[in-house]
């Protein structure tokens, strides 16, 4: 295919994308403004935009955002330290890998969100139960990827380093860590994403504060326009954080 | 001396045995903790949870709630697979539509759908419809993405060969694309099942009129950890069985490639 036609193809697909999104927006606007879709189900996009501007301008979102991000930071810190430490310890022996890896993978296949009612019973409706659910969901990808990273370093590198007289620390710093880091970073990124999702989800289900709580609160008050604005805000925050972690991962892998 | 040595040897040869011992130790720890350390209004020992499992099933409404949840999972999964297959093929088989729509699909896949959970309830009510819809919203994207990847990964030489031997469009689909799609289709089904489970259970826990979410809330508010743990165990078992079925299917149907 010539490069000229290729360029034209690319342009056409961009046009289709823009057209699709524009049609969606137009349908949304027409549906709410003229065709009488109930504003309780789907508010007018212009109204949502005003609400969003109001939320951002008044700084009303700050307390909720602080709660959610605080929970996320604590949960991710706990699952990182415990996941990487435990993963490293298990990966030191092939036997331990064969004992523990299927066990952890088995628990990982259970939808851990099921334990949320239990955590609410243990830790109450406050941040405690959200931190617990975020930690236990993000722990598994981190520990499994740490095991995969450290446990399956090519034997030939280890043997070569040993035979050249590398100390334990040198072995860790210059052989194991560089080999394992990309896999571990992937685990950390997945862990971060699922921690954020599960914290937003558990705030939606049962909570006292946080972005998820705010959205539910507005839904129950039937303030749909403001709820849409908060949803857009939460999605934007999540997208920003995910893009940030992905680019951090890519940058760290390149080194 | 030789006895301990042989025990050691058995354990070293069978990691599964050691794994069972770890599981047993964890359950023992739970039992001890629940019996002597933790307040019984928060935690019940596993022995009591198991022995009262029968009573749980006799609780008014529990069998019906489990049936509803299972039904929601099945319907959501079936719809996800149907939509995922159609959209995946439509997007994957044409270069142009792949370029145009894949970024939109990936964008939607990347947004946290939990934030719009209240919206699903507003639109579909608190009955099974909203759970099914939310389950589909979680299950359909991994299926689409995996099927597109599977269709794209077909070696161009196979398509060219089939075409140059005069195969019709349908024949190419039936004999080249279809067999190549099978492994990725089942891989997508496995990921889709994980998504459907997450979506349906999230929606159930959020609000439920007669499903299991109603009972988890009830047992939590009544400080009844025995039945809560029993119900969670039954659901976890259900999830494991469903996951295992699609995983087995994936291994079974993906085998021709490695042979």
Q: Say if residue B165 is in the same domain as residue B241.
A: yes
Domain annotation covers residue B98: yes
What Å distances lie between residue B153 and B92, B180, B192, CA to CA? 10, 8, 20
Statement to judge: residues B28 and B80 lie in one domain: no
In a domain, B45, yes or no: no
Instruction: Work out the pLDDT band at B255, boundaries 50, 70, 90.
Output: low
- The verdict on a CB contact (< 8 Å) between A110 and B240 is yes
Taking CA atoms, what residue in B is nearest to A103? B19
Report ipTM (2 d.p.): 0.80
Same domain, B117 and B198: yes
Q: Which of A17, A116, A238 is facing B205, going by the closest CB pair?
A: A116
Q: What is the mean pLDDT of residues B206-220?
A: 83
Rounded percentage of chain B residues whose pLDDT exceeds 70: 97
Collect all residues of chain A within an 8 Å Cβ-Cβ radius of residue B19: 99-100, 102-103
Q: Above 50 in pLDDT, residue B58?
A: yes
Flag whether residue A77 sits within 8 Å of chain B, measured between CB atoms: no
* Interval B121-141 mean pLDDT: 89
Task: List the structure tokens of B135.
Answer: 């389950």
Chain B contact for A12, CB < 8 A?
A: yes
The answer to whether residue A1 neighbours chain B at the CB level (below 8 Å) is no
Q: Same domain for B137 and B241?
A: yes
Whichever domain contains B214, its CATH number is 1.10.3720.10
Q: Which residue of B has its CA nearest to A21?
A: B104
Average pLDDT, chain B: 84
Record the tokens describing residue B21, joined without a space: 């011992």
**Which two tokens mark B179?**
């067999």
Give contacts of A231 with chain B, Cβ < 8 Å.
115-116, 119
- Same-domain pairing of B27 and B75: no
In this complex, is the C-beta atom of A41 within 8 Å of any C-beta atom belonging to chain B?
yes
Using pLDDT thresholds of 50, 70 and 90, give the confidence band for residue B97. Answer: confident
Whether residues B14 and B136 share a domain: the answer is no
- Which chain A residue's Cα is nearest to B212? A114
> Structure tokens of B151?
């269709």
Residue B42 lies in a domain: no
- Residue B222: inside a domain: yes
Which residue in chain B has the smallest CA separation from A105? B240
Q: How far apart are CA B66 and CA B213, in angstroms?
A: 10
pLDDT at B104: 84
B19 & B63 share domain? no
What is the nearest CA distance from B144 to chain A, expressed in angstroms?
A: 18
H helix runs in chain A, sequence order: 3-33, 45-58, 62-91, 94-108, 116-123, 127-151, 155-163, 168-171, 177-205, 211-220, 224-254
Asked if B87 and B140 touch (Cβ cutoff 8 Å), the reply is yes
Domain span at residue B15 reads: 2-37
pLDDT at site B259? 44
Residue A112 DSSP class: G
> SS in 3 state form for A53-69?
HHHHHHCCCHHHHHHHH
Nearest-angstrom CA–CA distance, B86 and A60: 43
* Domain membership flag for residue B43: no
Do B73 and B129 fall within a single domain?
Answer: yes
Q: What is the pLDDT of residue B77?
A: 93
Is residue B257 scored above 70 in pLDDT?
Answer: no
CA distance B219 to chain A (A): 9
How many domains does chain B contain in total?
2
Residue B22 to residue A99, Cβ atoms within 8 A = yes
State whether B190 and B108 are in the same domain. yes
**Whose structure tokens read 């998504």?**
B195
Q: Is the pLDDT of residue B135 over 90?
A: yes
CA–CA min distance B35, chain A (Å): 16
Compute the distance between CA of residue B159 and CA of residue B177 in angstroms, rounded to an integer.
8
One domain, residues B79 and B160: yes
With tokens 């309780």, the residue in question is: A40
- Does some domain include residue B220? yes
B238-256 mean pLDDT: 81
The mean pLDDT value for B97-118 works out to 83
CA–CA min distance B131, chain A (Å): 14
Interior CA angle at A201 toward A196 and A207, to 5°?
A: 110
Q: A177 CB near a chain B CB, below 8 Å?
A: no
Query: How far is residue B76's CA from residue B135's CA, in Å, rounded to a whole number?
Result: 6
Report the gap between the CA of B32 and the closest CA in chain A (Å): 17
The beta-carbon neighbor of B96 closest among A9, A40, A95 is A9
Q: Collect all residues with Cβ–Cβ distance below 8 Å to A197 and sequence separation of at least 6.
A: A238, B112, B114
Residue B46 maps to a domain: no
- Residue B44: inside a domain: no
Residues B21 and B101 in one domain: no
B74 & B184 share domain: yes
Run means of pLDDT, 10 residues per run, chain A, 255 residues: 72 83 85 78 83 85 89 94 93 87 86 87 87 93 92 84 85 85 89 90 86 86 86 88 87 75
The answer to whether B91 and B101 are in contact (CB under 8 A) is yes
**Of B15, B114, B236, which is closest to A201 when you measure between CB atoms?**
B114
**φ, ψ (nearest 5 deg) of residue B209:** -90, -35
Chain B residues with CB inside 8 Å of A112's CB?
A: none
Q: Which of A169-173, B8-12, B150-154 has the lowest mean pLDDT?
A: B8-12
């Amino acid at each position: 295919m010539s490069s000229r036609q290729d360029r034209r193809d690319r342009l056409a697909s961009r046009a289709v994308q823009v057209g699709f999104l524009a049609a969606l927006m137009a349908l949304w606007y027409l549906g709410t403004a003229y065709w009488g879709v109930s504003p309780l189900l789907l508010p007018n996009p212009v109204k949502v935009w005003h609400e969003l501007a109001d939320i951002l301008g008044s700084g009303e979102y700050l307390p909720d955002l602080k709660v959610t991000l605080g929970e996320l930071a604590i949960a991710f810190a706990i699952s990182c330290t415990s996941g990487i430490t435990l993963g490293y310890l298990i990966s030191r022996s092939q036997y331990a890998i064969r004992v523990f890896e299927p066990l952890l993978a088995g628990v990982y296949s259970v939808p851990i969100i099921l334990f949320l009612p239990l955590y609410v019973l243990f830790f109450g409706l406050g941040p405690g139960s959200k931190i617990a659910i975020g930690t236990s969901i993000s722990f598994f990808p981190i520990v499994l990827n740490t095991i995969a990273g450290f446990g399956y370093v090519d034997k030939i590198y280890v043997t070569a380093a040993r035979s050249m007289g590398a100390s334990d620390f040198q072995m860790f710093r210059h052989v194991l860590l560089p080999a394992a880091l990309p896999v571990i970073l992937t685990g950390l990124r997945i862990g971060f994403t699922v921690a954020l999702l599960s914290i937003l989800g558990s705030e939606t289900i049962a909570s006292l504060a946080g972005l998820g709580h705010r959205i539910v609160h507005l839904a129950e008050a039937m303030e749909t326009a403001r709820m849409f604005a908060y949803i857009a805000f939460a999605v934007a925050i999540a997208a920003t954080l995910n893009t940030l972690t992905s680019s951090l991962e890519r940058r760290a892998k390149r080194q | 001396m030789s006895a301990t040595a042989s025990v050691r040897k058995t354990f070293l040869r069978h990691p599964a045995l050691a794994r069972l011992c770890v599981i047993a130790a964890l359950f023992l720890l739970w039992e001890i903790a629940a019996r002597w350390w933790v307040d019984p209004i928060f935690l019940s020992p596993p022995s009591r949870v198991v022995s009262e499992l029968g009573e749980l099933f006799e609780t008014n409404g529990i069998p019906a709630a489990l049936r509803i949840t299972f039904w929601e999972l099945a319907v959501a999964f079936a719809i996800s697979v149907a939509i995922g297959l159609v959209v995946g093929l439509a997007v994957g088989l044409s270069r142009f539509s792949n370029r145009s729509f894949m970024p939109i699909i990936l964008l939607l896949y990347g947004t946290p759908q939990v934030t719009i959970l209240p919206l699903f309830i507003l639109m579909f009510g608190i009955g099974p419809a909203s759970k099914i819809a939310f389950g589909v919203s979680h299950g359909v994207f991994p299926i689409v993405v995996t099927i597109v990847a599977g269709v794209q990964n077909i070696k161009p030489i196979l398509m060219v060969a089939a075409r140059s031997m005069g195969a019709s469009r349908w024949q190419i689909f039936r004999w080249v694309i279809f067999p190549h799609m099978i492994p990725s289709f089942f891989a997508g089904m496995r990921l889709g099942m994980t998504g459907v489970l997450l979506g349906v259970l999230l929606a159930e826990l959020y609000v439920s009129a007669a499903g299991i979410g109603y009972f988890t809330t009830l047992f939590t508010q009544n400080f009844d950890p025995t039945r809560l743990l029993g119900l969670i165990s039954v659901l976890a078992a259900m999830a494991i069985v469903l996951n295992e079925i699609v995983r087995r299917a994936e291994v079974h149907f993906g085998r021709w490639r490695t042979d």
